[in-house]
Structure 1
Amino acid sequence: MNDLSGFQRDLLWVIAGQDQPSGQQVKSELEGYVDGEINHGRLYPNLDTLVNKSYVEKGPIDRRTNYYAITDKGRESLRNRRDWENQYVSME
C-alpha cells in the first residue's frame, strides 16, 4: 500500500465501506470528506490504478457504468495499514 497516494488510499477506504459502488458513488462519498469537487480526470485514472494494482476489481453495472469492489489484497492492505498507523497513534 506504500505504493499508493493518499488520494488513492482514500478511494480504497470508500470502496471498502460500500457494496460495489459506482465511480460516481465513490466520488460523492469522498467529496463529503475532502474540501472541493473531485473531477473526472482525477477520479477515474486513480480508480484504474487501484484496479491495475489489484487492490480493486471493476465490473459493469450497465453499458455506461462500472462498479468497484475491494479485493482480498486491498482489504489485507487496509488492515496492514491500520495496524501500522496504530503503532504511532493511540485514539484513547
Structure 2
Amino acid sequence: MDGLTGFQRDILYALVGLESPHGLAVQAELDEYYSESVTRGRLYANLDELVDRGFVHKERQTDRSNQYTLTDHGVRAIVAHRRWTEQQLLDALQRGGQ
C-alpha cells in the first residue's frame, strides 16, 4: 500500500465488499463509513489513480457506468495491509494494550 492515501485504501476495501462495484455503489459504501459525504470528483479522481497504478481494473458497463474490480496487485496489497494491521494489534495486546 506504499504511497496510497487512507482514502484510496478505503476505496480498495469498499470494492472487496461490493457485489456490483460501480462508481455510485462505491460512493454509497464510503458515504456510510465516513461522517461526511464523498464527492464524485474526489471518488473518481482516486479511482482513476488506483487504475493507473494497477490496483483496480476499470471496465465499461454502459455509456454512463463503469465497473471497478481489484486486480491481483490490489488484492495482494489489501491482504498485506490487513496482516500488518492485525500484527500491530496483536503486538499491542501482548504489551498490555498500551
TM range, smaller chain: over 0.9
Structure 2 residue runs of 5 or longer lacking an equivalent are 94-98
Q: TM-score, normalised by structure 2?
A: 0.87
Q: Where in structure 1 do 4 or more consecutive aligned residues deviate above 6 Å? A: none
Q: Is the 8 A contact 1:23 1:44 kept in 2?
A: yes
Between Structure 1 and Structure 2, whose CA radius of gyration is higher? 2
Is the contact made by 2:18 and 2:25 (CA closer than 8 Å) also made in structure 1? no
The equivalent residue for 1:57 is 57
Superposed displacement of residue 16, structure 1: 1.5
Tell me the number of residue pairs that the alignment of Structure 1 and Structure 2 aligns.
Answer: 92
Secondary structure of the 1:89 match is helix
What fraction of aligned residue pairs are identical, expressed as a percent? 38
Structure number with the bigger relative contact order (C-alpha 8 A, sep ≥ 6) is 1
Counterpart residue number, 1:86: 86
Residues in 2 aligned to 1:19 and 1:52: alpha-carbon distance in whole angstroms:
23
Tell me how large the CA RMSD over aligned residues is: 1.5
| Structure 1: unaligned runs, 5 residues or longer | none
Q: Which has the higher helix share?
A: 2
Q: Is the 8 A contact 1:58 1:66 kept in 2?
A: yes
